[in-house]
Amino acid sequence: MNDYYAELGLSRDASSEEIKRAYRKMARKLHPDVNPSDEAADQFKRVGQAYAVLGDPEKKASYDQGVDPYAPGGGAGAGFGGAGFSFSDIMDAFFTGGAAGASGGPRSRVQHGQDALLPLDIELSDAVFGGEVDLTFDTAVVCTTCHGDGSRPGTGKHTCDVCGGAGQTQQVQRSFLGQVLTSRPCTACDGYGDIIDSPCFECDGNGRKRETRTISIKVPAGVDTGTRIQLRGEGEVGHGGGPAGDLYVEVRVAKHPMFQRQGDDLHCSLELPMSAAALGASLPLETLDGPRDIDIQAGTQPGDVVTLKGLGVTRLRTESRGDLLVHANVRTPSKLTSEQADLLRQFAASRGEETPAPKFQSVNQGLLGKLRQAWKG
């Protein structure tokens, strides 16, 4: 395989801007109009080829995956002549973003792969803290036997003799309007312009094969069910080992046995015996951040909320977090022994509550008002 990064004097993580800059600089120095030596012409051609690949997002993605369109013995066919290019053509390529060579003619065997959308099941803790989640899926990958070329190793392709490599055949048809020239894809070569002498036995000439892959996906903190994550170039490899499409995963957060999410906050309910609500208590809660003590104030009412600041869900793309709200669910004992009933009667007597005063009030001051306060506070 040609090392196009080295050809441009770049490392493999060079940005598209760096690639463009490096090529522009070298093309200026090496162009035959500027430098007539044979050596320069040769290097100019190689540098041009390197840029034709690295300057084209699709070809680059494919090359980064190990498919070299200019590898000896096959590939996509050179789209960049190097020599014979005028200086302005090269500069034009920067502004159109293309690498030239894409015009009519036979269709390329190398096609862009399809995007894919898959569900990604994660735990609530992954959504809260972010995490790495493995995803196993069935996809199309570059054939390892022919590296996407489609030919059995050691064999090649020959120009289609039906269409002469054009990929199209033309027919003259007579109609009442006169003679009409129509062109259609050549059936002998499927429009490719060439024919594989001996198809690769592993991929049947497709250049790709099905495979089960497992990838580790970085899940950012704060995602929720329905959030989509884009993974560039992790989709299906195209026909002829063409650059892979993108993989999108749609997050599905599993139900947690204890905590329910509402926006950035987590909620849970704490069942409290009446006595603990009256006397106060400190109870351990296993939060997603580890054990915490929940302090129940003496005199806690049904629906009161204990807020643990910052123990909720991380807000997407920030460091800040919502809260964890514990809702007190005060339970009145429903089955009393006669001894317990006596104790409660004594308790009521000591508070002068043997016959409770009729304290009816509007709903606003009562339960609903309390709920409102809880949501505000």
Binding site for Zn ion (CB under 5 A): 143, 145-146, 160, 162-163, 186, 188-189, 200, 202-203
Q: Which residue has the tokens 């429009």?
A: 191
The residue (of 160 and 328) whose beta carbon lies closer to Zn ion is 160
Least distance from Zn ion to the Cβ atom of residue 171, Å: 14
Choice between 87 and 201, CB closer to Zn ion: 201
Q: How many CB atoms lie within 10 A of CB 63?
A: 22
Nearest to Zn ion of 65, 145 (CB atom):
145
Cα gap 279→362, rounded to integer Å? 28
Three-state SS for 113?
Answer: coil
Smallest gap from residue 67 Cβ to Zn ion (A): 12
Question: Bridge-partner residues for 223, per DSSP?
Answer: none
Query: Shortest gap between Cβ of 106 and Zn ion (angstroms)?
Result: 8
* 3 state DSSP class of 41: helix
Q: Is 374 exposed, middle or buried (0-12, 13-18, 19+ CB in 10 A)?
A: middle
Question: Among residues 189 and 223, whose Cβ is nearest to Zn ion?
Answer: 189
Least distance in Å: CB of 312 to Zn ion?
A: 51
Spatial CB neighbours of 117, under 8 Å, sequence gap ≥ 6: 228, 247, 248, 249, 250
Cβ pair 312, 255 in contact under 8 A = no
Tell me how far CA of residue 341 lies from CA of 13, 271, 272, 334, 338, in angstroms.
Answer: 77, 22, 19, 11, 5
Sheet containing 260-262, strands listed edge to edge, beginning at the edge strand earlier in sequence: 260-262, 265-273, 324-331, 305-308
Q: How far is the CB of 246 from Zn ion (least distance, A)?
A: 24
Is-contact 170 180, C-beta < 8 A? no
Does the annotation flag 268 for ligand binding?
Answer: no
Distance of CA 198 to the CA centre of its chain: 37
**Closer residue to Zn ion, CB minimum distance, 57 or 153:** 153
Report, in Å, the least distance between residue 118 CB and Zn ion: 25
In the bound state with Zn ion, the residue whose beta carbon lies nearer, of 173 and 187, is 187
Nearer to Zn ion, 189 or 266 (CB): 189
Is 160 known to sit in a ligand binding site? yes
Q: Minimal distance in Å, beta carbon 146 to Zn ion? A: 3
- How, if at all, do strands 194-196 and 157-159 pair? antiparallel
Residue 200 CB neighbours (<10 A): 22
Q: Which residues are annotated as a binding site for Zn(2+)?
A: 143, 146, 160, 163, 186, 189, 200, 203
Q: Which residues are annotated as a binding site?
A: 143, 146, 160, 163, 186, 189, 200, 203
